[in-house]
Structure 1
């Protein structure tokens, strides 16, 4: 019943996006000292949601899950916008930590939307 309501699907998609992005950011932080590692990220939720692709799972090749981040296409960050270390690593722990805070806010926002919509639905049916 609830999966047909658009607000619940959007909140669910936002939470999934936050989880996928947190996974990519954690991988970046884990490889902060790996020579030649390029920081990765996924497209912001607004761009992904506007695309209207239904959030279908996408992989880079059959059986490969490492860079797909739970169905979202992982992309390299623009090298011109990030500084690289002498060893070629483009991960900045400070930037990754700030992005992780943003992802937590996005996840909390999705839960708040879900809870609010559920409260409205309960009120409409006469249950509190």
Structure 2
């Protein structure tokens, strides 16, 4: 069984949530732009599957890892509820729901990190 790096995992999720929040903000900013297609981030589980293994080489003759996909590039067209006559697929209600989900996930991650940090500190003190 491999160790779980909880703090690293929470940091990666926060980075993904920041990317998703930026996409939500971009969608809301373009709510009246004709032809704009709403974007959303790939689910966090898929992002983690894609970046599960990281290769590194100590020798220049070793295999080099392919350029990895950044979380900002891991986007997909959002599943819109409706499309306007101008071709815009941004739904204000859907974007606000996403923003609420992001806020809740940030809070959960922060609370988990705080709890595990205090448990870790209590074991170090004794």
Instruction: Report the TM-score when normalising by structure 1.
Output: 0.76
Greater radius of gyration (CA): 2
Within 5 Å, which residues of 2 pair with 1:3-82? 6-49=5-48, 51=49, 53-54=51-52, 58=69, 69=72, 72-78=73-79, 82=81
Aligned length: 111
Task: Give RMSD over aligned pairs.
Answer: 2.4
Q: For residues 4 and 47 of structure 2, what CA distance do their matches in structure 1 show?
A: 19
* 1:46-71 CA distance string (max 9 Å, x none): 3323x050598636xxxxxxxx63xx
- Per-residue deviation at 1:41? 0.3
* 1:18-54 CA distance string (max 9 Å, x none): 11100000000000000000010011223323x0505
* Structure 2 unmatched runs, 5+: 55-66
Q: For residues 103 and 19 of structure 2, what CA distance do their matches in structure 1 show?
A: 12
* Structure 1 unmatched runs, 5+: 60-67
Q: Which runs of 4 or more aligned residues in structure 1 lie more than 4 Å from their structure 2 counterparts after TM superposition?
A: 54-57
Contact 2:39 2:78 in 1 (8 A): yes
Match of 2:118 in 1: 119
Instruction: Report the TM-score when normalising by structure 2.
Output: 0.77
Contact 2:47 2:74 in 1 (8 A): no
